[in-house]
Amino acid sequence: MTERALNRELLAQGAEARAAGPVVEAAGGDTDLARAAWAFAHGMTILELNGRFPPDADLDAAWLRGVEALKGQAVS
């Protein structure tokens, strides 16, 4: 679903903004931080689903570290 370009012409007016709304809100209204958080979560999920982490990888720790890295990263 996310492996090719999105044909935005096929989307209903405002659909993309409504879908992104909860992530942007969670990021304190910072659209760039929301995109970074979504990219991190998407990447971690795809890598885990595809079995790309070593068997002994502590994925809970990786998730926590990623979330912590994104906290407070608002750039002025």
Q: Note whether residue 19 is domain-resident.
A: no
Q: For each successive 10 residues of the chain (76 residues), what is the average pLDDT?
A: 86 94 94 95 96 97 93 61
pTM, two decimal places = 0.80
Domain that holds residue 55: 30-76
Write down the pLDDT at residue 73.
63
Burial group, residue 70, by CB count within 10 angstroms (0-12, 13-18, 19+):
middle
Q: Note whether residue 16 is domain-resident.
A: no
Q: Note whether residue 53 is domain-resident.
A: yes
Q: Note whether residue 17 is domain-resident.
A: no
How many domains would you assign to the chain? 1
Q: Note whether residue 11 is domain-resident.
A: no
Write down the pLDDT at residue 42.
95
Q: Note whether residue 72 is domain-resident.
A: yes
